[in-house]
Amino acid sequence: MNFLRELKYTAISMISTVQGMFWTVAYPILLSSLFFVIFSAISTRGLSTAINTGVTKTNPHRVILNFIPIVHVISMEQDAADAALREGSIQVFIADDLSIRIYKDGTAQTIVKNIVEQIKQTDALGIPITPSVYRKRFIDSKDEQNNSMMILFYSLLAMVSIYSMFGAISIPERMQANISKLAVRMSAAPIKRFRLYLSGVLFFVCFNLASNLLYIGYVMLVLKLNLITDFAVTVPLLIYANLFGTAFGLCIGSIPKLTENTKVMIGVFSSLFLSFLSGMMSVSVKTALDASVPILSKINPIALFTDTLYNINILHEYDSASLFFIVYSGFIALFLSIAFFNAREVQYDSL
């Protein structure tokens, strides 16, 4: 009953904290929404339909243009081209002499310009232009299991999976007598400190894990992205990552000469920096680091978790899971050892 009571008080203190609720619950949902909006806008810049191109009936290259799949030829008189360009009914007009008119720049206009330049060069070389040349496919399309955008969402999940550290930072604040007056009173009280530590660790791991699952549910059900394909393996990895975050929070929280706000800032900036290296802000950063310093992705816990999530849920490869548990176990042991020595190294003449 005492253990459940401690668990209850820990839950109340966490839920009543605006800072803790924001970082663990609201922040990942807000950031994932921002990622989705940005990358949805980028993806819609591509061409999904043929380019409406105005051509006169007397244009000598009209037959060739009709055989190019990306060009949708629309017959019109040259005098009507300017009005059609302004209205947007056509994007480019090709005159009989292969000069082009446009109303605004864009990808479609650049593509048509390159096609016209190719026709001009072929004419200049005296090579007969045949429709088959422009219909030929030089690149075969194949399905690839690759999605660079998903790396951002996996990196964000890896980052927020260690956010149990924010709650764990407060545990030494209540238990370590050389940090706060409340901890002085708790140390003098006839209670078992191990039980308090255990109740705090258990709650923050479970609470942050629930927040991680909420984030996954939001991405999959609301944003309609297939983030997780193997829950049976991903959930144990998330639990272990939350244990890592709790151990990291205990380590930071046990440092006696820092204020609580400073400890929180250390947790924020360290997680953001490691996430930046794992490719959350730009996939090119991760690619460059993997090429130049490959060992960094093996010891950076967030980068390692990002790779593991991607391999399991996109590539369906499970070899990196063993490395994940080895590296995380080493960090957990290190952080808990530091927290233990910080809590035990000071002897008090009087409380």
User: Using one digit for the tens of pLDDT, what is the confidence trace for 205-243?
Assistant: 999 999 999 999 999 999 888 899 999 999 999 999 999
**H helix and E strand count, the chain:** 18, 4
Residue 39 in tokens: 């990358």
Backbone angles phi, psi at 94, to 5 degrees: -110, 120
Element (H, E) at 94: strand 92-94
Q: Do you know the residue count of the chain? A: 351
Q: For residues 31 and 272, what is the distance between their CA atoms, to the nearest angstrom?
A: 12
The pLDDT-based confidence of 197 (bands split at 50, 70, 90) is confident
CA-to-CA separations, 1 to 4, 8, 200, 250, in angstroms, rounded: 5, 10, 15, 25
Q: Is 72 helix (H, G, I), strand (E, B) or coil?
A: strand
Could you tell me which residues come within 8 angstroms of residue 119 by beta carbon, excluding any fewer than 6 positions away? 61, 64, 98, 129
Report pTM: 0.66
Residue 184 in tokens: 């002085």
**pLDDT, tens only, 253-290:** 888 888 888 888 898 889 888 888 887 766 677 777 77
Q: For residues 133 and 137, what is the distance between their CA atoms, to the nearest angstrom?
A: 9
